[in-house]
Amino acid sequence: MSGEKSLKVALLGCGTVGAQVARILIEDGGALAARSGASLELTGIAVRNLEAKRDVQLDAKLFTLDAEALIDSADVVIELLGGMEPAGAYIERALARGASVITGNKALIAARGAALNAVAASTGAQLRYEAAVAGAIPILRPIADSLAGDHINKVMGIVNGTTNFILDAMDSTGAAFDDVLAEAQALGYAEADPTADVGGLDAAAKAAILASLAFHTTVSSDQVHTEGITEVSAADVTAAAAAGYVIKLLAIAEKLEAGISVRVYPSLIKRDHPLASVRGAFNAVFVEAENAGDLMFYGAGAGGNPTASAVMGDVVAVARQLSAGAPLPHGSADSAAQLIDFSAISTRYWIGLTVFDEPGVLARIAAIFGEHGVSIESMNQQAALGDGPAALRILTHRGTEAALASTVAALKALDAVDTVLSVMRVEGN
Amino acid sequence: MSGEKSLKVALLGCGTVGAQVARILIEDGGALAARSGASLELTGIAVRNLEAKRDVQLDAKLFTLDAEALIDSADVVIELLGGMEPAGAYIERALARGASVITGNKALIAARGAALNAVAASTGAQLRYEAAVAGAIPILRPIADSLAGDHINKVMGIVNGTTNFILDAMDSTGAAFDDVLAEAQALGYAEADPTADVGGLDAAAKAAILASLAFHTTVSSDQVHTEGITEVSAADVTAAAAAGYVIKLLAIAEKLEAGISVRVYPSLIKRDHPLASVRGAFNAVFVEAENAGDLMFYGAGAGGNPTASAVMGDVVAVARQLSAGAPLPHGSADSAAQLIDFSAISTRYWIGLTVFDEPGVLARIAAIFGEHGVSIESMNQQAALGDGPAALRILTHRGTEAALASTVAALKALDAVDTVLSVMRVEGN
């Protein structure tokens, strides 16, 4: 194309994803220009240590330690440093001077997305972050754009590859959490410090972003009820499998009459639910919309190339808009999120107990559920081993978290109950 | 919002989808304005017969027989008449005067999309047709936008709900095609004249659209190799199931070294492939991209509300762009599609034969495959019933369509072969 616009692109960070983004920008210039109507010139890559970049097949002259100077001469800034600072300050600096920003920084967007969007709106810059949720899967744009003429009622996703890898391996091998985690670390599917993943914090950031976009509001990570998978036992997984369920860590954003609920926890879902078949480190997001009905988006949730694909989709979108010359109107949040207290959320529960096998014990346990307004769907007693306590798994109909909590407290106080092994929710219809 | 743009929206057609689109435009005006930055005014609904619209809960004054007058005063035209004419003339008329058009007309876009895009490009109008492929599933925009910075190698989809309903019912009940088709017609999943669905023509139009967008080129329906499902027998479905496969009608667009292949045929896929679990009338599209890897998009492929959701997503996108004041650059096809002749396509095959159970017959059959360069992966002989011929199912490694055709011709000429029952391809790895 002759006479096309040329855009200066600054890259911040050159890790697994950044190196792939740099490669694509350099190798694929022609196709990117044809797609976006603008030629994209990678003007530099800001890194924290020039020595560390020797193994990357890129021109050494591209690297710089001066991120701010690079930002100040760019039309488009791609932030792939991760973490809160200096990433946040860099993004704000770019947006404030009218440069558009693409980032995959879920923690930052979940914490400060609304403030950064406001800066972008004030200068007409664009801020895009498709890579922040579910890696390569196009999910934020379908929610924000394709479903813009519909009403989303619920988003429920497997958005953390590490925990799905662990739960899937526990399901298929029967192994214990600690053993599978060690294996996942050896294979590179889990980090040396896996807290953010197995504790559900990574999924919570993604849940906050999904909720904000799906419901046109602002939800931050600290508003998400978050439970991780560290307490999920091999016995839970096996008993769930026997009952026709699989345990997945779900990020759920739901619009209810009283407001919005955003939560992350390990949950049982039926084996025939589309999310149940998501294996290994893959991600998938299930969306229920008023008119569209049930939709699912599936793909790789992490990795250098998949995440780079999402970043580059955003780069082309930004470049198209810049080459058209007029920014799209900035969508604004309709209002502050009306978040429902977690205790008011109602789901089905699956409770594992060990009980002393004495006459009338089942009746007494059933009575406790009834007294707290929680109705039992099924009770499954496994044979007691010798004289020890027998294992009992109880599936309930819908009840509130508050009712469930008081039921569990009463069960624990019952003499006939040895231990409450696990309390888990059941999602999906 | 004060001072926002107001856009005149003309609706052509008020069938199942049109009536829902009209309802949403009227009921949801506030949310649509907030999403798009423009208020949307439904100025009229062009129909062919005013009497037929009495049952729709819409103001009678909206209806008109004069589609052209309606188009000539509109900013945005939504075409939901279907068929080639007058829909094509109406769309061209709208685009020529600079009005943007949203349509769900797959047959028209597959046949004349390139010409209509050229008219749109000449006036700066937008032409969008997300609803034309896979109903509610956001698939065209993810392909054209989210994956714009990637390279798509293959798109493989279940894009026709009627045929998936039929094949799924055959798979779960063992019933014959004719019986299931009659049931599907009774349930409203198949039309009285099911030719376009069961003959693969509907899927071929969608395959042409997917190929054009995925490969930045122009492919029309008549360039798609098309086979329907009318020849799929209950015995095929049962034997496939026994071997761990399920039969699906697949629309495939593939980029190979020599060019592009676009084809529709019933194919075996492994039960653990994500497309295998797509049940009933649902649709799903599997995308393989160079960087993103494997992605899948799943949802309702038809129906008034789901299709209306896709139409409304396009309406909001058009309105956003119009309220921004500057059109996005029109993507142009990179070049005419270099289509590969179907005979050069290479897949795995699954061949069903009945053979006379005499000494040496398997060796002679195996030799025929070898002579034509087709390598056998497995052979499965079912016991002969009494003195009659025995059924044989042969799964091959990859071979070309040409080699397969000559193999089948030679098999038919062999005395020991009673009948070639079926020849089917196997897709997925």
- The one-character DSSP state at B48 is S
Residues of B marked as catalytic: 206
Taking contacts as CB-CB distances below 8 angstroms, the residues of chain A near B318 are none
A228-261 tens-digit pLDDT = 999 999 999 999 999 999 999 999 999 999 999 9
Q: What percentage of residues in chain B have a pLDDT greater than 90? A: 82
Strands of the sheet with B63-64, listed across from one edge: B63-64, B38-46, B5-12, B76-79, B100-103, B127-128
Of B34, B138, B321, the CB nearest to A146: B138
Instruction: pLDDT band for B1, please (50, 70, 90 cuts).
Output: very low
| CB A383 within 8 Å of CB A231 | no
Cα dihedral: A399, A400, A406, A412 (round 10): 60
Distance CA A338, CA A342 (A): 12
A14-32 tens-digit pLDDT = 999 999 999 999 999 999 9
Taking contacts as CB-CB distances below 8 angstroms, the residues of chain A near B324 are 324, 326-329
Strands B376-381 and A346-355: unpaired
Q: Given a cut of 70, is residue A52 above it in pLDDT?
A: no
- Tell me the average pLDDT across B286-310: 95
Domains of chain B: 5-135+304-324 (3.40.50.720), 140-300 (3.30.360.10), 342-426 (3.30.70.260)
Q: Both ends of chain B: CA-CA distance in Å? A: 52
Q: What percentage of residues in chain A have a pLDDT greater than 70? A: 95
Which DSSP string do the residues of A94-149 spell out, in sequence order? HHHTT-EEEE--HHHHHHHHHHHHHHHHHHT--EE-GGGSSTTS--HHIIIIITTT
Which DSSP string do the residues of A393-427 spell out, in sequence order? EEEE-SEEHHHHHHHHHHHHH-TTEEEEEEEEEE-
* Residue A136 to residue B293, Cβ atoms within 8 A: yes
* Residue A35 to residue B331, Cβ atoms within 8 A: yes
- Tell me the average pLDDT across B247-267: 95
Distance CA B101, CA B10 (A): 10
* Residue B329 to residue A313, Cβ atoms within 8 A: no
* Residue A300 to residue B277, Cβ atoms within 8 A: no
Q: Given a cut of 60, is residue B54 above it in pLDDT?
A: no
Taking contacts as CB-CB distances below 8 angstroms, the residues of chain B near A137 are 295
- The one-character DSSP state at B195 is H
Catalytic annotation present for A8: no
| CB B271 within 8 Å of CB B254 | no
| CB A366 within 8 Å of CB A376 | yes
* Residue B305 to residue A291, Cβ atoms within 8 A: yes
Q: Which residue of A has its CA nearest to B292?
A: A306
Q: Which residue of A has its CA nearest to B40?
A: A149
* Residue A311 to residue B31, Cβ atoms within 8 A: no
Q: Which residue of A has its CA nearest to B277?
A: A274
Work out the angle at residue B424's Cα, subtended by the Cα atoms of residues B423 and B426, and round it to the nearest 5 degrees. 145
* Residue B297 to residue A294, Cβ atoms within 8 A: no
Q: What percentage of residues in chain A have a pLDDT greater than 90? A: 82
* Residue B149 to residue A331, Cβ atoms within 8 A: no
Q: Given a cut of 80, is residue A335 above it in pLDDT?
A: no
Query: How much is the pLDDT for A330?
Result: 63
Instruction: State CA B233 to chain mean position distance.
Output: 22
3 state DSSP class of B335: coil
Q: Which of B311, B318, B320, B313 is nearest to B12 (CA)?
A: B311
Query: How much is the pLDDT for B51?
Result: 75
Q: How far is B283 from chain A (nearest CA, A)?
A: 10
Query: How much is the pLDDT for A1?
Result: 40
- Tell me the average pLDDT across B357-386: 87
Query: How much is the pLDDT for B184?
Result: 93
Strands B245-256 and B346-355: unpaired
Distance CA A25, CA A195 (A): 34
SS3 labels along A148-190: CCCCEEEEEEECCHHHHHHHHHHHHHCCCHHHHHHHHHHHCCC
A350-405 tens-digit pLDDT = 999 999 888 888 999 999 999 999 999 999 887 665 677 888 999 999 999 999 99
Distance CA B283, CA B61 (A): 37
Taking contacts as CB-CB distances below 8 angstroms, the residues of chain B near A318 are none
Q: Given a cut of 80, is residue A282 above it in pLDDT?
A: yes
Q: Which of B212, B231, B221 is nearest to B264 (CA)?
A: B221
User: Six-digit token pair at B106?
Assistant: 């797959």
Query: How much is the pLDDT for B325?
Result: 75
Q: How far is B307 from chain A (nearest CA, A)?
A: 7
Taking contacts as CB-CB distances below 8 angstroms, the residues of chain B near A320 are 328-329
* Residue B296 to residue A298, Cβ atoms within 8 A: yes
Q: How far is B349 from chain A (nearest CA, A)?
A: 27
Which DSSP string do the residues of A252-295 spell out, in sequence order? EEEEETTEEEEEEEEEEEETTSGGGG--TTEEEEEEEETTTEEE
Q: Given a cut of 90, is residue B224 above it in pLDDT?
A: yes
For chain A, give the longest Cα–Cα distance.
Answer: 87
User: How many other CB atoms are there within 10 angstroms of residue A29's CB atom?
Assistant: 14
Q: How far is A326 from chain B (nearest CA, A)?
A: 6
B367-378 as b/e, with b when 16 or more CB fall inside 10 Å? ebbeebebeeee
User: Cα Rg for chain B, rounded, in angstroms?
Assistant: 24
CA distances from A130 to A35, A135, B294 (A): 18, 8, 17
| CB B357 within 8 Å of CB B384 | yes
Handedness of CA B359, B365, B367, B368 (dihedral sign): positive
- Element of type H or E holding B180: helix B177-187
Of B31, B136, B329, the CB nearest to A295: B136
Distance CA A364, CA A353 (A): 13
Mutation target for A interface from B4, B35, B156, B291: give the one with most A CBs within 10 A: B291
Sole residue written with tokens 């801020």: A127
- Element of type H or E holding B170: helix B161-173
Instruction: pLDDT band for A54, please (50, 70, 90 cuts).
Output: low
Q: How far is A265 from chain B (nearest CA, A)?
A: 24
- Tell me the average pLDDT across B9-18: 95
Distance CA A40, CA A30 (A): 9
Residue B51 CB contacts under 8 Å (≥ 6 apart), including other chains: none
B319-331 tens-digit pLDDT = 998 988 766 666 6
User: Six-digit token pair at B130?
Assistant: 């997300």
Q: Which of A266, A273, A141 is nearest to A200 (CA)?
A: A266
3 state DSSP class of A390: strand
| CB A428 within 8 Å of CB A373 | no
| CB A203 within 8 Å of CB A264 | yes
- Element of type H or E holding B242: helix B234-242
Query: How much is the pLDDT for A57?
Result: 77
The burial class, CB within 10 Å (0-12 / 13-18 / 19+), for A114 is middle
The burial class, CB within 10 Å (0-12 / 13-18 / 19+), for B176 is middle
Q: Which residue of A has its CA nearest to B321?
A: A328
* Residue A138 to residue B150, Cβ atoms within 8 A: no
| CB B352 within 8 Å of CB B236 | yes
Q: Given a cut of 70, is residue A3 above it in pLDDT?
A: no
User: Six-digit token pair at A290?
Assistant: 């008023």
| CB A331 within 8 Å of CB B35 | yes
Q: Which residue of B has its CA nearest to A302?
A: B292
A385-408 as b/e, with b when 16 or more CB fall inside 10 Å? eeeebbbbbbbbeebbbbbbebbb
Q: How far is A331 from chain B (nearest CA, A)?
A: 6
- Mean pLDDT, rounded, of chain A: 92
Mutation target for A interface from B1, B150, B298: give the one with most A CBs within 10 A: B150
- Tell me the average pLDDT across B366-390: 85
Q: Both ends of chain A: CA-CA distance in Å? A: 52
* Residue B329 to residue A334, Cβ atoms within 8 A: no
Residue A205 CB contacts under 8 Å (≥ 6 apart), including other chains: A106, A107, A109, A110, A111, A132, A221
Taking contacts as CB-CB distances below 8 angstroms, the residues of chain A near B294 are 299-300
Q: Which residue of A has its CA nearest to B152?
A: A309
Q: Given a cut of 50, is residue A126 above it in pLDDT?
A: yes
* Residue A297 to residue B294, Cβ atoms within 8 A: no
For residue B18, which amino acid is it? G
Distance CA A9, CA B66 (A): 51
Q: Given a cut of 60, is residue A2 above it in pLDDT?
A: no
Q: Given a cut of 60, is residue A299 above it in pLDDT?
A: yes
Strands (E), B21-82: 38-46, 63-64, 76-79
Q: How far is B97 from chain A (nearest CA, A)?
A: 21
